[in-house]
Amino acid sequence: MQFPFRFKSFLHLILFFLLVSCKPQKKETLPDHILVNTEKIKYAKGFSIEKSANGMTTIKITSPWPNAEASFTYALIPREKLASITLNKNEYDAIVAVPVKNIVVTSTTHIPALEALGVEDLLVGFPDTKYVSSEKTRKRIDQGLVKELGNNDAINTEMTIELHPELIVGFSISSQNKTYATLQRSNIPVVYNGDWTEETPLGKAEWIKFFAPFFEKESTAKKIFNDIESSYLKTKNLAKTAPNISTVLSGAMYKDVWYLPGGKSWAAQFLSDANSNYLWKETLETGSLSLSWESVLAQGKNADFWIGPSQFTSYKDMLAASKHYQQFDAFKNKKVFTFSSTRGATGGLLYYELAPQRPDLVLKDLISILHPPLLPDHQPVFFKPLE
């Protein structure tokens, strides 16, 4: 049968539309590992955070300990996407399902971050629990909810494995921690936290952003840190209004060596931001200085204040340790202030635990000492007069 030309054209047109409508539509999808967001880290130098289109978070640690040559990369994957994401395990030092349901941490500086994020109930083990000062976490320790795991240099691996932690946040001074290697071979993810290597107060505090992705608490961490940053900078600006700048001595002797903060250290930065003249501020050390007592006396004899005399809590104890201390004006004038008298129930120093997370409170303590009229109603948290 012959069809008229016009009818043939009509059939061709219908066939064209049928073919077009049956053609699979191309979906606009992003490649799995394309970067969609980089967390802004303003002060901390030791870590970075990136978000990928597939929901994975990548954390890179570049300063797990001082002068580290190695870096570590961790992949955090939402539990509901574990089956759909394939990774090259050789590219990552640990792969962690998030949010984690229980955790072991190894430094007291980790405790305030967990509490601030509201996940302290997930802590199941800790080495040297006697050093924990927080009343909230001490209560959980006393109830047996946080197990004692020995000491950080040699964590009891058997006890740790029995706890089945989904994550261990490690603290180490070098790459030679064999305990962590053993735990990793037991398929327990171990990630390094290098908050203690930071050289600035706000740099240490910003490590709360490191903890947040493991619990999917990023927005909470941002708000917490922003509040701390705002408080710190406001307090720092207040210190600049002080009419007088006092000179400051620090540290104390151990045997025949006087240890005190280097000019580029975390402690020295506090003294600078408190608008004081730390007498060793020009030194370049980021850790501590080791000096003879004679050289310290020559430079610090007339210092107005003595902030942080090591472990001492009383003038009596200082004199018993060395008669040299009484040659300093700050000692004679009872202007010595210590953080060593503020301890937890089992003797842990609150300063070592909480100060890195709350530098704004440290700065307020120092300003209330060095410039009392600026914060007349401040109640000291860490630094208190020597007894």
pLDDT tens-digit profile of 127-166? 999 999 999 999 999 999 999 999 877 899 999 999 999 9
pLDDT of residue 19: 37
| Whole-number pLDDT of residue 383 | 98
Q: Are 301 and 328 in contact (CB under 8 A)?
A: yes
Among 40, 75, 39, 72, smallest CA distance to 54 is for 75
Domain range annotation of the chain: 35-228, 242-385
Q: Which two tokens stand for residue 9?
A: 């054209």
- What CATH class is the domain 35-228? alpha beta
- State the pLDDT at residue 312: 96
- Those residues of the chain that have pLDDT short of 50 are 1-31
Using an 8 Å Cβ cutoff, are 141 and 120 in contact?
no
- Contact predicate 171/46, CB 8 Å: no
Return the half-sphere exposure (C-beta side, CA atoms, 13 A cut-off) of residue 289. 25
Q: Where are the beta strands (DSSP E) in the chain?
A: 35-38, 47-52, 57-61, 72-78, 94-98, 103-105, 123-126, 147-148, 150-151, 154-155, 168-170, 190-192, 247-250, 252-254, 257-261, 277-278, 288-291, 305-307, 336-338, 384-385
| CA–CA dist 54, 66 (Å, integer) | 34
Separation CA 214–CA 57 (nearest Å): 9
On whether the 242-385 domain is CATH 3.40.50.2300, my answer is: no
Q: Is the peptide bond before 99 cis (omega within 30 degrees of 0)?
A: yes
Q: 3-state class of 145 per DSSP?
A: coil
Q: How far from the centroid of its chain's Cα atoms is residue 82's Cα?
A: 28
The model carries a pTM of: 0.89
Predicted pLDDT at 4: 43
Domain 242-385 in the same topology as domain 35-228: yes
